[in-house]
Structure 1
């Protein structure tokens, strides 16, 4: 598959995954760019043991974790105060989505809870598949899923779910 075709096929999806982890649009874009750049440089290392999509998702998650552990991630909010606000064409749509109460509530959770929610509800993966993908015991995945739901419950108690699903 050509690089342009890969980018066209997977960039939006990988961006959403990166955003769930890093909670910043620009950083999520950087993560996705790094993933494609790294894949292009090292594409011969892909052995085909899983689908290319799974491989790119795992790279995105790992790169997101790298960012979260970096010095830049811990000091980035300070730098944001000094940056000018330039809006892209898709900015209003992203802001509307990011302002949603459900998304906001999920983004307040620790990464280990966000990722299991992402895989379970967004990817429709089973706990067994998530455990295999994250190389974590299935019982740990079940516990994280339960704790994530418990933390979300009070944060989402005020949402009018009928209005949310009518749109």
Structure 2
């Protein structure tokens, strides 16, 4: 079958069975947009395999089989499972989410703490960042900075002392 005939045949198939396939897909995935995407994928597969359609069954039956397989593939996909988990988490944490005011205040406080850390001398800021923000252990910090382990420990201790004073002055430190 030449390309123009395939295009015409596909256009007829889409007009005749498009709505039915969307409804079929929707009955599996329960989401209108995803059902439309699946139907579109089904038509793409139909177009690619049109030459190999033997006519053992009706074209409608063949399209249903393609669409059902697409739905099953979607339901087995990692993306679908991830979306389900995220939806579940969102539904069950809505009541536990902080208010917008609380979020803004917390972000402002975090920014103030970051600014105070950034105001430390480089040698202290460096070890604080690597240890707390990059979650490196003392030995790893020593290796990255090319310092002795005891030097890293001393700088961390002194940096924490300076931070405590600056945070108390800024009234950010939680006691």
TM tier, shorter chain? 0.3 to 0.5
Q: How high is the TM-score relative to the length of structure 1? A: 0.45
Q: TM-score, normalised by structure 2?
A: 0.43
Bigger radius of gyration: 2
Q: Which has the higher helix share?
A: 2
